Amino acid sequence: MDQSDDIVSEAALIAALEASGGVGFWMWDIPNDDAHADPVTALLFNISPARSRAGVGLAEIMKAVYHEDQAHITQVILDCVQSGGSYTAEYRVCSPEGRLRWVFTRGHFYLDEDGRPTTGRGVVVEISDSKAAGIAFATRDGSTIEGALNKTADLCLSLHNAVSELGDTRIVALTETLLLEIGKHLAERQRASANLSLH
């Protein structure tokens, strides 16, 4: 692999954010600790898109989470991994240059018939413009977002999980497009609630 494939630049992240509307998605093979993400999510977490395509471990991803937010966010995610189900979180990630960005994440974790964690899938939305300050949070079952949107996000994550097993790349791509659209709605909802709290 070319060394330039591992470079994470602010310019590349800004271009990816503009092209995607600030929305990305991720998938995690839990038993193998092998996570993959689209370029937006990878760059937000200081991982080059090439390395993300090859797969990285959760510990490497969590390095980008701002130190004040890291323990709480990690604990909620790991609790959710063990019991399955969904989580919603807002927290800061830190770029290699030290710039802080707020992200909103919604994820769902799946268990096998014996109750062992198998996979996780989710969306990431960059919300820095709508959240200049505040505290990080993570909660199970996404109780901070309207119920219908939660159900839609979880159904789409489950659909993406199911069609990935089919191996049909066209259908997988369609579910990824749907995930990105749902992510945009999540971002709009977050921005609207952030604007209401300012008044």
HSE-CB for 28 with a 13 A CA cutoff: 24
Question: What confidence score (pLDDT) does residue 56 get?
Answer: 96
For 127-142, the pLDDT digits (tens) are 887 665 566 656 666 4
User: Counting runs of H as helices and runs of E as strands, what totals does the chain give?
Assistant: 7, 6
- What is the rounded CA–CA span in Å between residue 180 and residue 188? 12
Question: What confidence score (pLDDT) does residue 66 get?
Answer: 94
Cα distances (Å, whole numbers) of residue 20 to 17, 62, 78, 130: 5, 22, 28, 17
Burial status of residue 59 (CB atoms within 10 A of its CB: 0-12, 13-18, 19 or more): exposed
Question: What confidence score (pLDDT) does residue 54 get?
Answer: 92
Structural domains of the chain, ranges and CATH numbers in brackets:
3-198 (3.30.450.20)
Which residue positions in the chain have pLDDT lower than 70?
1-7, 130-150, 160-161, 187-199
Question: What confidence score (pLDDT) does residue 162 get?
Answer: 73
The overall pTM is greater than 0.95? no
Q: Which two three-digit tokens encode residue 131?
A: 């959240």
Question: What confidence score (pLDDT) does residue 2 get?
Answer: 44
Question: What confidence score (pLDDT) does residue 4 get?
Answer: 45
Question: What confidence score (pLDDT) does residue 199 get?
Answer: 47
Name residue 163's amino acid: V
- What is the rounded CA–CA span in Å between residue 102 and residue 19? 18
Q: Which two three-digit tokens encode residue 75?
A: 């604990």
Residues of the chain with pLDDT > 90, as a percent, come to 32
* Number of CB atoms found within 10 A of residue 151's CB: 12
With b for 16 or more beta-carbon neighbours within 10 A and e for fewer, the 172-198 pattern comes to: eeebbeebbebbbbbbebbbeebeeee
Q: At what angle do helices 147-166 and 169-198 cross, to 10 degrees?
A: 160
Question: What confidence score (pLDDT) does residue 137 get?
Answer: 59
User: What is the SS3 string spanning 137-187?
Assistant: EEEECCCCCCHHHHHHHHHHHHHHHHHHHHCCHHHHHHHHHHHHHHHHHHH
**Of 92, 193, 76, 183, residue with least CA distance to 133:** 92
